[in-house]
Structures are given as C-alpha cells and as structure tokens.
A and B are shown apart, each in its own frame.
Chain A
Amino acid sequence: MDGLLSWFDYVASNLDDVWEATVQHASLVLVVILAATLFSVALGVVVQRHSSARQVALSIAGIFLTIPSLALFALFIPLVGIGNPPAIMALFLYALLPILRNTVTGLDEVSPAVVESARGMGMSSRQQLLKVRLPLAWPVIMAGVRVSSLLVVGIAAIAVLVGGDGLGTFIQGGLTRLGLPGSVESVWVGTVFTVLLGLTLDLGFAAVQRLTTSQGLRI
C-alpha cells in the first residue's frame, strides 16, 4: 500500500517528465510503425506472387526478430551515431515481420474470382491492386500493424541504452540507482506507462482499422 502511494507521489511530482517521456516514446513508435507499414506493404505486394522471393523476405524479417534487441540497437551506432536514429532503425526491423506476413496473407486471401472479375472488366494491374486487392487485404494488414505496434512499444524502452529517449529513461534511471530513494518507483513508472501507452496505441489502431475497413467486409 505504501509502495502504491509513493508511486503516485512520484508520478505526481514528476508529471512533466513522465508526460514528456511518454510523448517521446509514442512518437518513436509511431514513426517506426509508419515507416515499417509503408515498407512492408510495398514489399509484401512485390513478393506475394513469387514463392521464392516471399520465402526469402519472410525469413529475413523473421531473423531480425530473433536478433537480441540489445545487440541490434548497438549495431547501428557505428552507422548513425547514438540517439534516436539507431533506435528507430532497430525498431523498424522488428516491426517488419508481422506487417509483412499479414500483407502477404491478406493478399493471398483475396478471392481469385474477385481478381478475375476485376481483370475481366478491364482493370489494369495497378487498379486491381489499389481498388480491389489492397482494400480487401486491409483488415488483415491492420491486424499486423497492431501486433507490430505492441511489439515495438515494449522493445522501444531499450532505446535509452543507445542514447534515445522515451519511457526507458525511467527504467534505466531507476535500475542504475537501485536502493536509493525513488529508484523502484522510477522503474515502475517506466513499466506501467509503457504498458498503458501500448494499450492506448492499440485502441487507436483498432479505431483506425475500423474506420478504414469497408462496411461490406465487417462481420
């Protein structure tokens, strides 16, 4: 009980810092998700119909996810220095697989009869993609975006180790001062606000998914 009260005290007295870190964390995630979505959807569209290329793309995206996060963040420092850039790059690689996989699956699931009729009416490949295949795959792609965003929100806490900002600063700050007053509270602030941010973003993406999916596709 005391712990909880002191946690609230800590949040109340550091409200500005907590808010700033949360906003930084959120913008880090959003930038990464936006870039990863654009890239993965484009890649998914390109590789979907070529079985070997899609295997290679999915395998590589899968390998990115298995690289220990600490190492992956650090790998980019020689290239872009410290700060947010290496974090964004590492998170970008983590975010690829769910979106890429769902793009490919979503496009696979588009009924061949629908594509056949689109083609039969004289739609060009581009029109078939933009007016039929992507809109139909969209709910599945958005499900992938939501998974990626949850994944990235958690891992983004590590950004602090390569000089990035976000809620990781509270966790790391607490851990380095462990035993000193306010250290435990600091770790918990980082953790709890990361979880809350994840839930909020997921709700947000769920709303976007609903608004951007045709009524005809809703169950």
Chain B
Amino acid sequence: MPDRSMIHLDRVTKVYPGTVDPAVEELTMDIQEGEILVLVGPSGCGKSTTLRLINRMIEPSGGHIFFDGEDVTDVDPDKLRRRIGYVIQQIGLFPHQTIGQNIATVPKMLGWDKKRTAERVEELLDTVGLPAAEFRDRYPKELSGGQAQRVGVARALGADPAVMLMDEPFGAIDPITRDRLQNEFLRLQSELKKTIVFVTHDIDEAIKMGDRIAILGERSVIRQIDTPERILAYPVDDFVDDFIGSGSTLKGLNFERVSGLALSSYPTIKVGEAPEKGLRAMDEANREWTLLLDREHKPLRWLRRTDLQRGAGDMTKRGQHIRAEVEPNATLHDTLEEMLNESTGMCCVVDNRGRYQGVVEISDLTEVIRRLRTEAKEHYDALETVS
C-alpha cells in the first residue's frame, strides 16, 4: 500500500452549541489511500460525529480537513459530498425511486449523460451481485435487508468516489447475512482499493474489516491506532484492553498462519517399515508419539510406544485415528481449534495433496503469541524513543 494520506484531519474539534465539553477534541489523524480505517469505541465516544465531520455533515468548530491534499474545510459541502461515498446503517434508499434511479443519484447530479449513467448502474448492480435485469426497475420495498444494503453500497459507489464513509453499515442486519456482506465487501474492496473510513461499535467487526483500527475514547480521543494484529497483541492501556475484551489472544491467532511457523520435525514411520525404526526415532526425539505415514507420505495414525512394541504386523489398526489436520494456509486460530479436538494435543500439517509437512504443538502457538507481543512492544518502545 502506498503510504499516501488521502484524508488528513488536523486538530479537528466539534463543540455543539450550548455545551462546554467538545464532542470531538483536537483530533489529528491520517487515513492512507486504499486502506480501511475502522473507528471503534464505546457508544457516545463521538466516532459517528468524527465520521460525519469528514464529509461535513457536521461542520467542525475548529481545525482543518484535507482531502487528497486539498483543504476542504471551507468548500461547498454539497459538492464535497458528491465526491465521497456515504453509507449509513439505516441505508436510506429513496422508496419512491427504482433501484436503478437510486444508484444513478450522484451520477445524475454530476451531469453524466444517460448512456454513461445507465451503463454505470448496470455495472454497479453486477458488482454487488444483484442481476441488473432483475433488480434495476424494482422498488426498495421489494428488497430484503441484505439486498437493500448491497444497493446502498452500490449507490455510494455511484460516481466512483475515491473515498467512502460507512457508519455501522452492517449494524442492522442479522448475523449470518452480516458475515456474508462483510466478506463480499472485503472481496470488493480488494479490487476497488477505495479509501474507507468505517465506524462500528463491534470490536470483532473492526478486527475483521480494518486494515487499521483507531480505538476512540471519550471526546474521540485516539487511545490506540494500529493494525488489528498489533492492537490485539499489545493493547497500550487498560482502556483499550477492556474494550478489546477477553479473548484477544485467541482473536490475534486469526492473523497468523501455519505457513509462518517453523514446523518442528517429528518422529515418523512409514507403512511396512520396522517398528524398531520408529522406537529409535522416538527415543532420539524424546517424544511420546510417532506418526504413521502411508507410502505416499500421507499421515495415517498416531502410534504410542506400546503400539510399536507389539512388533511387526499391520500397524494401520493400531494407535489413534488422526483428527486434527490442517493445510499451511490455515490460521493458527483454526489450528488451535483442531488441536483441542485431538487427544494427542497436536495437529498434523499436510500440503494441498494431503502429504505430511510437519506437526504443530501447543508450545508452537505460545511461542508465536510471545513473539507477537514482543514485536508489538518493541514497536511501541521504538515509537516512544522517537518521540
């Protein structure tokens, strides 16, 4: 990702008339081109206000907003908003217009000709997975919640804005549909590479959607802003720690993959080989188990010392069936899940053709967690030294 600031907030402040305490206090923040920055925080922390300050739905009381290097604090807000996609939780489709007319709203305001607008509508419906022929002439009342939200996203993308602001866009949708929409949106974003500011109160959604997460405290003060991995590994203070809640270590394992581990070598024996070979390997490695592989190098059974001591013969009936098996691209979270189901407490790693690659043990995971923490701590220590 090129490190180019797309949106720059410079000491932006919002004080509502009649109040003393600012809702947003001297917020300075950069949003890089092409990233999803998630604003997350407890309710009332001003995250929505912050989002709405960016497209000046709320006028800042102080500070400056830069948009692609241009100071937009005083430009015509309507013109500014036509350059920024905006998606809200309640979607707000125009019920009196067809889906096609809804999506064409901004292109029409920008004076696109009919042909170009129609093509764009078709393209966008296609992008969000709603066949144009079927949906273009329908009205919003005929859509399910998930479909309406897709149209909401398509409408925000109408004139291909570089920046999108999304205020809890999937907040009012049932968990299963929400998960699907989140995945679809991430896939879409991997192609579109928009600069996105995304507000949510749900830390899990923030971890899933964010390239970076800004955890906001009262008055929209940034408590920590970083990648989800680093925030999970190293919450800077109790506020952030409390907000992430329990299970942050487990959540952190979602970002690490088996392929990133140095797999420990493990005693193995092939079908047809002498049991003594296995016993010797176990002695050398000082292990309790050995892994039986077939002729194609695929894991078959876990064998104990006693299984081998029964002498030569058909070993495929001895020992324990292998329950836990993952491929290198599996996350460590999934790997742990597999391990918990395996009485040996170990997980076999196989390549995409099922051939044995190595074994993951619980100590490998604790090692990763320790490394993540150390790296994150070093990162923050280095930042402190600089400042």
Contact = CB atoms under 8 A, between A and B. Distances in A.
Interface in B102-119: 105-106, 109
Given A127-B109, A214-B97, A117 B81 contact: no
A156 to B, nearest CB: 34
Contacts of A114: 92-95
A215 interface: yes
**Range for the number of chain A residues in contact with chain B:** 20 to 34
B81 A121 contact: yes
B92 A217 contact: no
Interface of A: 111, 113-124, 127, 132, 135-136, 214-217
B381 to A, nearest CB: 42
A195 to B, nearest CB: 34
Interface of B: 55, 57, 77-83, 86, 88, 90-98, 105-106, 109, 139-141, 152, 155-156, 158, 165
B140 A113 contact: no
A17 to B, nearest CB: 45
B109 A123 contact: yes
Contact of A120 (B86, B93, B98, B140): B86
A116 B165 CA distance: 13
15 contacts: A113-B90, A115-B92, A116-B92, A117-B94, A119-B57, A120-B57, A120-B165, A121-B81, A121-B82, A121-B156, A124-B78, A132-B96, A136-B94, A214-B139, A217-B95
Contact of B96 (A119, A127, A136): A136
A116 B88 contact: yes
A214 B82 CA distance: 25
A182 B57 CA distance: 71
A107 to B, nearest CB: 14
B78 A117 contact: no
Contacts of A120: 55, 57, 81, 86, 88, 92, 165
B139 A215 contact: yes
B139 A113 contact: no
B94 A118 contact: yes
B164 to A, nearest CB: 11
